[in-house]
Amino acid sequence: MRGLMHDTDDPLTRLLLPPPGESEEEREERLTKEAEAQRVSDLIDESLRAERAALKKQKVMKMLLLGQSESGKTTTLKNMQLTYAPRAWEQEKASWRAVIQLNLVRSINVILDALALRLAATPASSRKSSMSPISPSSGRFMSPPPSPTLEDNPYSSMGSIPSERRNHLLKLRLRLAPLRQVEVDLKARLGDGTNELTELNIGSEPLFASPFDDAPAISSRPSKEVTVRSHQSFKDKERDRKTKNRTSLRQTPTGVDVDRDPVSDVLAGCADDMVTLWEDSVIQDLVDAGALESLGDSAKYFLRRISDIAKRDYTPSDVDVLRARIRTVGVQEYNIAFEIRLERDIWREWAIYDVGGARTQRRAWVPYFSDVQAIVFLAPISVFDERLAEDRKINRLQDSFALWDAITKSPLLQQCILILFMNKCDLLQQKLDRGVLVKTHLPSFADRPNDFTNFTKFQGRAQLQLAQAAVLLAHDVCDRESSFACLSDSQIPLNVRDVPGAGRRRDGENAAVR
Ligand SMILES: Nc1nc2c(ncn2[C@@H]2O[C@H](COP(=O)(O)OP(=O)(O)OP(=O)(O)O)[C@@H](O)[C@H]2O)c(=O)[nH]1
Ligand SMILES: [Mg+2]
């Protein structure tokens, strides 16, 4: 019977033993060969490691969000963060508080400016007041500016306001005067994006209809804005501010810790007056007459939430953050790591580039066009009767079409998956319900029925004539229910290749616009 195996009986050990009778020279040669084999093996390991890293890198989906200013790019990005990286979203939410406060304060100040005009439009006999007007920009008392002539004043046909009402409104205006300084402070805190571009404040910044345009001759100096890359977004600034203020945290009656913030104190002090102003029928008439038009699509939403936003311990809700508006300046990169389980382990990480969409910004997009796998182009469907804020001569739908055309024809972007995201359907529906006639602004719509389905098909088809792409419709990107359904139905963030018809289809129509 065999006893315990001797070491040298083991086939492996035997293999590794030097050959019997090996000379010193042979030993030397064998060791050199072994070292060489080890070197080659290490090289192979290294190249395998690099291959694995490259493979991992490929799993980062690079996506660009493109479209004109206020088309909803940042809102779409926020919606994706909320849906697919909820823990990161929760951590980031608080940094939107100041933006939401600014959105509200700015709306109130615009209303106060409109009110000043409305009061000036009232016949002189009822205009005896002991109060001096307040400068819109400084918030300090000043000598009365020249009243606009009746022809200049958009509210000149609105009739007079009884003197008791006038006095009440003037007192409200006076009590809300501190909000002028709050606006200035919040803007300074949050940076460039807080100033919406207008023809007046744009100065001689060059405007580019497409990122591939040559510099127009209107300005010889380089654009301030296109060279900006916003490394430190307002969110980083807010986080830094919070860290600095951590020592002065205090408890509110509801037990929530809030940092000592003079802005919140002023807002809490003005809350009741803001609600009274907003609910006044004179103000509602001004709003109906377009007083808030310059403020974009979320102003009314925040004015309806004054009581919550003006609380000292206000924490933004998901929808508040989705509705918050701050202009994107430059190009900002966001990395979203999926926190949800995916059916297939592909593209767990997304690098999403959110760009500033104004005509001053478009040249800054080009460096980001290389190496990108997908483009989501935001084409708001409600803008057929609107003009660009930065260039009032240009219709917004015309601008959006021209931009889409340039993007889809660019040789740089031929390999990208292209997704056309038609959003703001809620705003289109509201316009049609108000009786706005599409053909007045878009004669080519001709005598088609002036309804949602017909216009959506019309615009979708027109865009797809320029280039084929997957088309998605979003009722309202800010509405959690509808837009969530839209995004998850389409599965864009899960795997864009799964979207029926995604990519450059040149051979058929998409169901959404058939
Ligand atoms: N009602 C409605 N509002 C929307 C929708 N999508 C975006 N908005 C609002 O439109 C405004 C502009 O949206 P943003 O996402 O900031 O636009 P943007 O394309 O990032 O604009 P820039 O940063 O200037 O290029 C915000 O107030 C949004 O809340 C939508 O589908 N419906
Ligand atoms: Mg943006």
Q: Output phi, psi for 246, to 5 deg.
A: -55, -30
Q: Is the pLDDT of residue 441 over 90?
A: yes
Distance 192 CA to ligand 2 centre (A): 12
List CB-based neighbours of ion ligand 2 within 5 Å: 73-74, 328
Q: Which residue has the higher pLDDT, 350 or 305?
A: 305
Q: What secondary structure, in 3-state letters, does 386-411 show?
A: CECCCCCCCEHHHHHHHHHHHHHHCH
Mind listing the pLDDT tens digit for each residue in 240-280? 777 766 655 555 544 444 556 899 999 999 999 999 999 99
- Going by C-beta distance under 8 Å and a sequence separation of 6 or more, which residues neighbour residue 259? 242, 245, 246, 248, 249, 250
Query: What is the whole-number distance in angstroms between the Cα of residue 484 and the centre of ligand 2?
Result: 19
Share of the chain above pLDDT 70, in %: 73
Does residue 504 carry a pLDDT above 90?
Answer: no
Closest-lying ligand 1 atom to the alpha carbon of residue 75:
15
Mutate to test the pocket of ligand 1, among 297, 388, 426 (most ligand atoms within 8 A of CB): 297
Q: Which of 415, 201, 165 is nearest to 285 (CA)?
A: 165
DSSP state of 254: T
Q: Which ligand is located closest to the Cα atom of residue 361? A: 1
Give dist(CA 297, CA 99) in Å, integer. Answer: 15
Which ligand sits closest to the CA of 377? 1
Nearest CA to ligand 1 atom 15: 72
The predicted model gives 146-150 an average pLDDT of 52
Q: Confidence class of residue 467 from pLDDT cuts 50, 70 and 90?
A: confident
- Four-CA torsion 291, 296, 302, 306, nearest 10 degrees: -30
Nearest CA to ligand 1 atom 9: 297
Confidence of residue 9 (pLDDT cuts 50, 70, 90): low
- Quick one: the chain helix, strand, coil %, rounded to 5? 50, 10, 40
What residues contact residue 93 under an 8 Å CB cut-off, 6+ apart? Answer: 315, 316, 318, 321
The span from the first CA to the last CA of the chain, in angstroms, equals 85
Going from the Cα of 203 to the center of ligand 2, the distance in angstroms, rounded, reads 21
Ligand at minimal distance from the CA of 382 is 1
Across the range 337-346, mean pLDDT stands at: 65
Question: Looking at residue 139, what is its pLDDT?
Answer: 34
Atom nearest to 476 CA in ligand 1 = 31
- Alpha carbon of 69 to ligand 1 centroid (Å): 8
Pocket probe for ligand 1: among 334, 425, 478, the residue whose CB has the most ligand atoms within 8 Å is 478
Q: How far is the CA of 75 from the centre of ligand 2 (A)?
A: 7
User: DSSP 3-state assignment of 326?
Assistant: coil
Q: Which ligand is nearest to the CA of 302?
A: 1
Is the pLDDT confidence value at 209 over 80?
A: yes
Distance, CA of 80 to CA of 484 (rounded, Å) = 9
How far apart (Å, rounded) are the C-alpha atoms in residues 477 and 239?
Answer: 26
Tell me the CA–centroid distance for residue 352 and ligand 2, in Å: 12
Q: 3-state class of 107 per DSSP?
A: helix
Compute the distance between CA of residue 395 and CA of residue 387 in angstroms, rounded to an integer: 4
pLDDT digits (tens, 9 = 90+) for 90-104: 988 999 999 999 999
Query: In whole angstroms, how large is the CA radius of gyration of the chain?
Result: 31
What pLDDT does residue 384 have? 95
Alpha-carbon distances, residue 512 vs 416, 438, 463, 470, 471 (angstroms): 21, 20, 12, 9, 6
Q: Is the pLDDT assigned to residue 221 strictly greater than 60?
A: no
Helix (H, G, I), strand (E, B) or coil at 498: helix
pLDDT at residue 54 in the model: 67
Across the range 11-31, mean pLDDT stands at 77
Nearest CA to 274 out of 131, 105, 99 is that of: 105
Give the number of other Cβ atoms within 10 Å of residue 140's Cβ: 11
What's the rounded Cα separation, in Å, for the pair 182 and 244?
A: 20
Going from the Cα of 242 to the center of ligand 2, the distance in angstroms, rounded, reads 24
Residue 70, sorted as left (phi over 0), alpha (psi -120 to 50) or beta, turns out to be left
User: pLDDT value at position 225?
Assistant: 46
Which tens digits make up the pLDDT trace of 345-397?
Answer: 556 788 999 999 999 999 999 999 988 888 999 999 999 999 999 999 999 99
How far does residue 442's CA lie from ligand 1's centre (Å)?
A: 23
- Which residues, judged by CB distance below 6 Å to any ligand atom, belong to the binding site of ligand 1? 67, 69-75, 296-298, 323, 325, 327-328, 356-358, 378, 423-424, 426-427, 474, 476-478
**Per-residue pLDDT, 250:** 52
ipTM exceeding cut-off 0.90 for this assembly: yes
Average pLDDT over residues 426-439: 93
Sequence spans of domains, the chain = 60-94+328-513, 99-128+160-322
Residues 491-505 as b/e (b if ≥16 CB within 10 A, e otherwise) read ebbbebeebebbbbb
**Of residues 249 and 193, more confidently modeled:** 193
pLDDT at 38: 87
**CB atoms closer than 10 angstroms to residue 159:** 10
Rounded to 5°, the CA angle 267-273-278 comes to 105
Who has greater pLDDT, 49 or 227? Answer: 49
Q: What is the 3-state secondary structure (H, E, C) of 419-460?
A: EEEECCHHHHHHHHHCCCCHHHHCHHHCCCCCCHHHHHHHHH
CA of residue 450 to ligand 2 center, whole Å:
31
Give pLDDT tens digits for 33-92.
Answer: 889 888 888 888 888 788 667 656 566 888 999 999 999 999 999 988 888 889 989 988
Q: Which pairing describes strands 249-251 and 257-259: parallel, antiparallel, or unpaired?
A: antiparallel
What atom of ligand 1 comes closest to residue 477's alpha carbon? 31
| pLDDT given at position 239 | 75
Nearest alpha carbon, ligand 1 atom 28: 323
Phi, psi for 47 (deg, rounded to 5):
-70, -35
Contact criterion met (CB below 8 Å) for 478 and 75: yes
pLDDT of residue 371: 82
| Atom 8, ligand 1: residue with shortest CA distance | 72
Lowest-pLDDT range, 9-18, 220-229, 483-492, 494-503? 494-503
Query: Which phi and psi angles does 249 have, rounded to 5°?
Result: -65, 145
**Section 399-424 average pLDDT:** 90
The SS3 of residue 503 is coil
Q: What is the pLDDT of residue 231?
A: 41
Q: How far is the CA of 135 from the centre of ligand 1 (A)?
A: 30
pLDDT value for 454? 92
Query: What is the residue-averaged pLDDT of the chain?
Result: 79
Q: Residue 243 and residue 252: Cα distance in Å, rounded?
A: 19
Ligand index nearest the alpha carbon of residue 67: 1
User: What pLDDT is stored for residue 237 in this prediction?
Assistant: 74
- The partner residues of 354 in beta bridges, in order of sequence, read 65, 332
Which residue in the block uniquely carries the two structure tokens 């000598």?
Answer: 143
pLDDT at residue 497 tops 70 = no
Q: Summarize the confidence of residues 300-324 as an average pLDDT.
A: 95
Distance CA 104, CA 301 (A): 9
Cα(253)–Cα(485) distance, rounded to whole angstroms?
38
- Per the model's pLDDT, the better-predicted residue between 309 and 509 turns out to be 309
CATH class of 60-94+328-513: alpha beta
